[in-house]
C-alpha cells in the first residue's frame, strides 16, 4: 500500500492500493478532458428580482435650506419631538448629496411623518420625484430597521398636530 493523492504526490491521505490509485488517475484524466471542452464561465452573483439598485437623494435647494431642515428634524427650536438624532449635519448633508450613503439616517419618529417630510421636499422641488420612495428606503432606517419603499409610500396615518407642524415649517420654502 502507498499513500498518494491524485497528483501522485506523497501525502498524509488515507492509504490506497495501486489499483485504486490507477482508477483515480484514470477518472482524473477523464474529468480534465470533459472540463477542457466546457466554455469558460464567469460567475455572476444572482440578483434578487425584488432587489433594485440603490438610489440616493440629490438636494436641489440651498445649503441654508438643508441646514434649516436638519435643525427642524433634530428639533432644534422647532418641536418637542426628535425625528432623527445622533446625526451630524455633515452626515445629513452627505445623505442628500446624490452620492452613495455611507450610513443610513435612523428616523426615530413615526413613519408617516417621514413620508410627509419627503412629500414636502418634493412639493417644494428640493428633491426629484423620480424614485423618491426607493431613495427614502436607501437613505433612512425606521427605528433602526430597514423598510420597503412600498410600505413608506402607502403609510399615511399621521397625527394631525404633527402634520400641522410639518406644514407650518415647510410653508416658507
DSSP structure string for 25-40 = HHHHHHHHHHHHHSPP
The three cell numbers of residue 76 are: 432644534
Task: Say what percent of the chain tops pLDDT 70.
Answer: 79
* Model pTM score: 0.66
Average pLDDT over residues 113-120: 93
Instruction: Specify the DSSP element, H or E, that contains 140.
Output: strand 140-142
Segment 40-66, tens digit of pLDDT: 666 666 666 565 678 899 999 999 999
Segment 6-22, tens digit of pLDDT: 555 545 556 678 888 88
Average pLDDT over residues 20-28: 87
Cα–Cα distances in angstroms (integers) from residue 76 to residues 68, 112, 148, 158, 161, in the given order: 9, 21, 29, 22, 18
Segment 59-109, tens digit of pLDDT: 999 999 999 999 988 875 455 667 888 889 999 999 999 998 889 999 988
Sketch the domain layout of the chain as residue ranges. 1-42, 63-170
Paired residues of 136 in beta bridges: none
Q: In the structure, what pLDDT confidence band is assigned to residue 31 with cuts at 50, 70 and 90?
A: confident
Rounded to a whole number of angstroms, the CA Rg of the chain reads 29
Sign of CA dihedral 132, 138, 143, 149: positive
Paired residues of 141 in beta bridges: 106
Amino acid at each position: 500500500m502507498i499513500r498518494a493523492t491524485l497528483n501522485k504526490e506523497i501525502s498524509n491521505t488515507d492509504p490506497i492500493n495501486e489499483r485504486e490509485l490507477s482508477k483515480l488517475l484514470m477518472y482524473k484524466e477523464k474529468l480534465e478532458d470533459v472540463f477542457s471542452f466546457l466554455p469558460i464561465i464567469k460567475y455572476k452573483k444572482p440578483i434578487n428580482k425584488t432587489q433594485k439598485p440603490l438610489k440616493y437623494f440629490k438636494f436641489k435647494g440651498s445649503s441654508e435650506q438643508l441646514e434649516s431642515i436638519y435643525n427642524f428634524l433634530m428639533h432644534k427650536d422647532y418641536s418637542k419631538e426628535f425625528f432623527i438624532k445622533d446625526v451630524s449635519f455633515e452626515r445629513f448633508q452627505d445623505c442628500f448629496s446624490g452620492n452613495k450613503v455611507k450610513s443610513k439616517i435612523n428616523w426615530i419618529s413615526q413613519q408617516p411623518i417621514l413620508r410627509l417630510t419627503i412629500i414636502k421636499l418634493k412639493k417644494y422641488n428640493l428633491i426629484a420625484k423620480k424614485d423618491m420612495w426607493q431613495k427614502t428606503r436607501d437613505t433612512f432606517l425606521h427605528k433602526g430597521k430597514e423598510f420597503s419603499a412600498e410600505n413608506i409610500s402607502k403609510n399615511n396615518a399621521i397625527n394631525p398636530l404633527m402634520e400641522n407642524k410639518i406644514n407650518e415649517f415647510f410653508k416658507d420654502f
